[in-house]
Structure 1
């Protein structure tokens, strides 16, 4: 292939590939250990990333407030309807004014109390339904608030990206060159095809699950 120098047989190659960092198997055929270990390390890193916990808590807090606010509005509207019905009952105003012991006939008092009991039972059942409906809206509410979160990816030219991870013992910030990015060539759905770059290899095993924090 033009532009690529292939050393003659028996000569030292500067681009020789390394064995698997986990099991030391030859690079071809490729084993799944490095891809699996990278996925595990990513899950562990996400767990340690406090911003994710902050985002989750922010979304949960706002979702709870939204659900409670919606429930309170529905309960208030339902209470207003029930109260409006009770106020249409004969002598209900007197019943309230005398705190449940109005100077009316026992028959009329019994009718008022009957309607009040039914109204309370219906109101309680309605409140339960309002709360259930409000809680059932959590998925959409969480989607709404998580959609409001803005995540910024640094550009490749930023110093922190170009310099890489300082714990690897590099020589500091390299010369700012226009490096060909792998954004166009990397298929995130097939990490195994992109594993073999000696300068970007997965670190060796270091504990449970192959990785541990330094």
Structure 2
């Protein structure tokens, strides 16, 4: 049985993942916490085999809160820079996007328990890039969009088809965790991508 501790912000997400894990024959959730300062005491008390944690909850205290226990970090692409320190960790650290399906988390737990790597390549690249997860073309598209240019104008400026610009904007929104272009611009500015 793989004893798992969940350190996730948000009762709905944490509860849903706990239910998914409880349905697995080889995984049990031994504790759930929603604050960074509660991770270390829960790890010491429960001695889990794997910890699944939001980057935001543990970023201040990595690798401290989980000791030698394998850690599966769920991170949003816009927070990927916070993963840099974990990439050089001397113990097993898995990295997945916070938007992955629950089965990817289940498989990630199993892989870490077997001491196998679990990495989301896009997040690793985003963590190592100085300008965040956006490609240079996406940055160009977003800068023009942020300046108020409509899709047709962005396409004409960059020599792209309108559909290509819309595709770039869709990828940018997903990477930013945004629902709209305006929100994507705001997130990108706050994260220092543009």
Shorter-chain TM range is under 0.3
| TM-score normalised over the length of structure 2 | 0.20
- Between Structure 1 and Structure 2, the one with more strand by share is 2
TM-score, length-normalised on structure 1? 0.19
Larger RCO: 1 or 2 (CA < 8 Å, sep 6+)? 1
Q: Which has the larger radius of gyration?
A: 1
